[in-house]
Structure 1
Amino acid sequence: MELTAELGSKIINEARKLINENIIIVNTQAIIIASTDASRIGQFHEGAEKTIETNSVIVLTREHQKTMQGIKPGINLPITINQKVIGVIGITGNPTEITPFASLMKKMTELLIRESMYIQESEWESRALEVLFLDWIQLDSLPPDFLSRAEVLGIKHTSPLRCSLLYIHDNPESHQINDLKRWLDLTLDSTLIRWGNNRLLLLTEEKDQSKSKLYLHSQLTSFQTYARTHLHVKTSIGIGSTVDSNVIKSSYQNAVKALRVAMNSQAIIFYEDLLLEICLDDVDHHLKKEFINRIISPIQEEDQLLHTLKVFLENNLHLKNTAKELHIHINTLHYRLKRIEKLTNLNPKATYSIASFYSALYYLDEKTK
């Protein structure tokens, strides 16, 4: 562990809450890297050099100031982590007055550094897990050493396995993501990975497939409730298929498809419960584009009409519920639906048109994401 100027500044900010004296943080080269007196940063501190060499507390007086470079009267305390000196904290002032604070300052400093080390280790582990899974979800077969590599990172799951993707809406803050991760860690026996800015990737064992689906749905329903009521964030969850080997590529891909469907209604969607969407996903990209153009191009730039159509379909053609969600009068809704029919030549209440609109909107969502 190496002391940085950033960490030194953090230590000083916390130390000033306990003692109203000038403080310096010195690295192992005896260079001041942080100080309440900015003019001292970058200076050599001979007293700190001796503190590092002897691994002992050194009291500096005005007499020392005459013969030692870069010092002021006060106390120097070694900062030790795992019995190794990694720097010095110096408190400037009358040694008699500041000595009672010295031991407390040393302990507080070392606690802050250990906390920083823990955060760094957690961030390293998180990045390592993300890299591992980026490899894992692309593999069609596992190299011999892959599971050993996974075990080093604490992944000991055995097949069958299932991937789930959890999406947190509205640009969540870091503390909200951390709270959600903590809840999942405490509730589910799984591997959890931060997957971009607002997604989490969950890997679970499916030991008893007849029960695990119900159990997983129940736990993730509780997760959504916690997120909504305690953190005021909405979530959507796509759950992939179960795979009978440690190759999780297909489960991940299916979780992506399920999440895309779940996004519209903040729902929990299992891939195996999808029917129409499985067929829609197998359509060629160019045919999807042509289908969008044929069905909804007349209203594609009409944001109000497009949104009205989406909400109408999501509410299963229920006029009253649609109007309520859109915050409009039901007569306004009738007008918009007639406008959609006029522009597209498709009646939003007719079976064929409903299937066509649903498919086109599904492809449009896929395109924009």
Structure 2
Amino acid sequence: MLQPELAEKIVREVQRLISEEIIVVNIDGMIMASTNRERIGAFHEGALLTSQQKKKLIITEKETPRLQGVKAGINLPIFFQHDVIGVIGITGDPQSVTPFGEIIRKMTELLISENYYGEQFDYHSRAMETFVLEWLQAHVQSPDLLERARALTINMDLNRIALIIEFEQREFPLSRDVWSSILNSFSQNKNDVLTRSGNERIIILIDCSASFQPAAVKNRLEQYLQFIKNSFGIAAYAGVGQCAPPTNLHQSYAQAERALKMAKRTRKIIFDEELTLEMITGELASEVKTEYIQRTIAPLLGERDLLDTLVELFKQNHSLKNTAQALHIHINTLHYRLKKIEEVTHLNPNQIHDLFCLYLAVLFLDEYPKIE
């Protein structure tokens, strides 16, 4: 329970309050951490007595010769769930340091409690993440998987929708406290399953067995993503699969992955059932998409202005007026660029077949190696 790393943390935190020498001792009387590094590993008889008697022990200068390894000061038992798990000692004049005693003990017990529940959160998060990922890959519910589901109080007999939330890339990973707040803030029903997946994703398996309403799910998601944005400054988007029976949950997850690719591009919440063209393009191998780009718009990859013009053209639904305004260029300049695109790609943006070929190539750019 009281490990050396935690003991060191306690010493550092308590040292902020008082300048006296601090020790943290285990229930066997061995000093685990101290502001005086030379005392670490030494036996402290006063702390042992404190641990055994479960009460504060004051040691005066006169009493130090009769107790092994002690200095004048105060020793306080550290309690966790009504049991003594260690002792914290403060060296100095007992009259001077005793007033700090209860404050320091409460602070120490709070640190231990936070550490314990943090470890419990980490353990449960890892167990849930591992279980859910195995569940999503399983086509058959094995006895081991069912047993772990019971331990996690998960009902595996329900129809569910798989939902993936992905955060935009950040420089640093989220802290435990942030993850805890995010995971505990989703407005979920009792049968919903929610877990983190790595440092960038949340997987939610929503019960859709009865009275399921996609609009209600979208509303919950919008509120949740807005909460994450407002509370932590993290932008996120989501892909949602379709309702699937227990044996086909992996299919709903695959649909959510497919929808997420579009959500990543639009920074929105996308339901798989809304996809049309993306159903096909999402199934193509990345190698095929790369080769397709090479056969179509590869000559534009080194022509930033032309490529940006083509991308904006599709954003503006092929409106030349809106495209020119968005790019802050004259309409004649836009016509010149479109003519140049046709010359280098041999695809005419004014012909439906060629326009569609160009559009597909632009769609595939997200998976193409970044252009410097």
TM-score by length of structure 2 reads 0.86
For 1:43 and 1:76, how far apart are their aligned partners in 2? 15
- Listed as ranges, the matches of 1:41-52 within 5 Å are 41-52=40-51
Aligned residue type for 1:126: S
The alpha carbon displacement at 1:119 in A equals 0.5
1:199 is matched with 201
C-alpha change, 1:140 and 1:187, in structure 2 (3 Å) is closer
Partner SS, residue 141 of structure 2: coil
CA contact (8 A) 1:28 1:87 kept: yes
CA contact (8 A) 2:139 2:247 kept: no
Q: What are structure 2's unaligned runs of at least 5 residues?
A: none
The alpha carbon displacement at 1:241 in A equals 1.6
The alpha carbon displacement at 1:30 in A equals 2.8
1:58 is matched with 57
C-alpha change, 1:279 and 1:148, in structure 2 (3 Å) is same
For 1:367 and 1:347, how far apart are their aligned partners in 2? 22
2:329 is matched with 329
The alpha carbon displacement at 1:324 in A equals 6.2
The alpha carbon displacement at 1:142 in A equals 1.1
C-alpha change, 1:77 and 1:278, in structure 2 (3 Å) is same
CA contact (8 A) 1:32 1:40 kept: yes
CA contact (8 A) 1:141 1:247 kept: no
Partner SS, residue 174 of structure 1: coil
Identity %: 36
Partner SS, residue 140 of structure 1: coil
For 2:149 and 2:315, how far apart are their aligned partners in 1? 41
C-alpha change, 1:108 and 1:220, in structure 2 (3 Å) is same
C-alpha change, 1:291 and 1:242, in structure 2 (3 Å) is same
Partner SS, residue 205 of structure 2: strand
The alpha carbon displacement at 1:197 in A equals 1.6
Q: What are structure 1's unaligned runs of at least 5 residues?
A: none
- Listed as ranges, the matches of 1:230-309 within 5 Å are 230-283=231-284, 286-302=287-303, 305-309=306-310
- Listed as ranges, the matches of 1:30-109 within 5 Å are 30-109=29-108
Partner SS, residue 310 of structure 2: helix
C-alpha change, 1:173 and 1:283, in structure 2 (3 Å) is closer
CA contact (8 A) 2:149 2:156 kept: no
1:174 is matched with 174
TM-score by length of structure 1 reads 0.87
2:213 is matched with 212
1:357 is matched with 358
The alpha carbon displacement at 1:77 in A equals 1.3
The alpha carbon displacement at 1:204 in A equals 0.6
CA contact (8 A) 2:173 2:199 kept: no
Report how many residues are paired. 365
For 1:116 and 1:150, how far apart are their aligned partners in 2? 26
The alpha carbon displacement at 1:73 in A equals 0.6
Compare 248-257 and 174-183 and name the one that shifted more: 174-183
